[in-house]
Amino acid sequence: MNAPSERTRVKRMNKRAAYDAETVHGILDAMPVCNVGYVFDGAPYVTPTLQWREGRHVYWHGSSASRMLEACAEAEVCLTVSIVDGFVMARSAFNHSCNYRSVMVFGTARKLTDAAEKEMRLRTFTDGLWPGRWDMLRQMTAQELKATTVLKLSLAEASAKVRTGASGDDEADYALPIWAGVIPVRMEVLAPVDDPRLIAGLAPPQHITDFKIG
């Protein structure tokens, strides 16, 4: 499959590139943490935040007073997501690497202006991570909704890059008595910790105890 645009075309190690929706969506859905690159007052910035995908768009949100959201609205941005799956140990320092899954998205970030749509997207974000949580929470106030900005970015210009497998050593190095292989890496979710002011007797719901990421 061809790259959707020249700026999304993977040039270095292009054999690891993927442009299909299944691969791109799968990586975005597996990792809510992203980094957004933008320009503010003529200087480049990259800000970490949480993202979620709905169909062919990716969304992120924050305070309406956020410098990042203000700079990104109706502007060109670059959003990236990365997942490290392992450290690849080779027989030479040059051939060490990582196994990873990554996505890069380019485009113009659009600000949601309809209050009902904003609330719907925030609900999808919350329930996407913790199914059923939105309905058990205190209802969002009009002021809270007004104080929240939601941006969306089309996935029309997106590319993925994935590495798997063992090291790619020079043929002569395979005879060296040096350990080589992969150190697998995963993000671990630990047991939930009660809020110190939690009402006595409340147990975490299933969407908390079953939460997974990565």
Tens-place pLDDT, residues 99-147: 999 999 999 999 999 999 999 999 999 999 999 999 999 999 999 999 9
Q: 15 burial class (0-12, 13-18, 19+ CB within 10 angstroms)?
A: exposed
pLDDT score at 7: 86
Assign residue 107 a region (left: φ > 0; alpha: ψ between -120 and 50; beta: otherwise). left
Beta strand residue intervals within 66-194, DSSP E: 76-89, 97-108, 110-111, 148-154, 157-163, 181-184
pTM of the model: 0.93
Q: Are 185 and 84 in contact (CB under 8 A)?
A: yes
Whether the pLDDT of residue 89 is over 90: the answer is: yes
- 15: which residues sit within 8 A by CB, 6+ positions away? none
Question: pLDDT of 178-202, one tens digit each?
Answer: 999 999 999 999 999 999 999 999 9
